[in-house]
């Protein structure tokens, strides 16, 4: 399945419709979109860290949710009201300092529901720091 939107088009849509994601600075970016997949980047700053200097669980949950939303939008077009109905995440290991990349893959894209698999890893690392699955409800088009 080919995407309906390119990475820069998804980011422009998010900038216009959800400017609040950049309220504390531009932490997220859409790195690339391809058939059935999207990659986003988190530039982790002090506000994303928990005691001990690691990226917090809630930050990685938000990242997985954001990545799922991006891959869905990239494939259905600019539908602002697609919403999360379920998100499961497993934290696998402590992230090393630096940027995190989330790779979201569409497992199912139906008329009303989308199911996404998401792996989060440090930039340049092979081992995942978290793995998530999510389901989104897609409004009638």
Give the count of beta carbons closer than 10 Å to the beta carbon of residue 1. Answer: 9
Has residue 92 been placed in a domain? yes
- Between 57-76 and 7-17, two packed helices, what is the crossing angle to 10 degrees? 110
pLDDT at residue 61 in the model:
96
Residue 12 located in a structural domain: yes
Residue 1 lies in a domain: no
Reported as a single tens digit per residue, the pLDDT across 23-40 is 777 889 999 999 999 999
Q: Which domain does 109 fall in, by range?
A: 7-137
Q: For the chain, what is the domain count?
A: 1
The predicted structure's pLDDT at residue 52: 80
Q: What confidence score (pLDDT) does residue 44 get?
A: 83
Q: Is residue 106 part of a domain?
A: yes
47 belongs to a structural domain: yes
Residue 2 inside a domain? The answer is no
The CATH number linked to 43 is 3.10.129.10
- The pLDDT assigned to 98 comes to 83
Q: Which residues of the chain have pLDDT under 50?
A: none
């Amino acid at each position: 399945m080919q995407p309906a939107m390119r990475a820069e088009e998804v980011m422009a849509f998010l900038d216009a419709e959800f400017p609040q994601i950049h309220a504390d600075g531009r932490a997220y970016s859409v790195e690339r979109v391809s058939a059935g997949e999207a990659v986003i980047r988190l530039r982790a700053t002090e506000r994303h860290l928990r005691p001990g200097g690691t990226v917090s669980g809630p930050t990685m949950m938000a990242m997985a949710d954001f990545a799922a939303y991006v891959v869905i939008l990239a494939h259905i077009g600019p539908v602002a009201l697609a919403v999360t109905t379920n998100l499961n995440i497993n934290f696998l290991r402590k992230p090393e300092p630096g940027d995190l990349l989330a790779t979201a893959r569409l497992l199912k894209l139906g008329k009303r529901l989308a199911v996404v698999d998401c792996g989060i890893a440090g930039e340049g690392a092979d081992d995942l720091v978290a793995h998530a699955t999510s389901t989104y409800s897609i409004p009638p088009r």
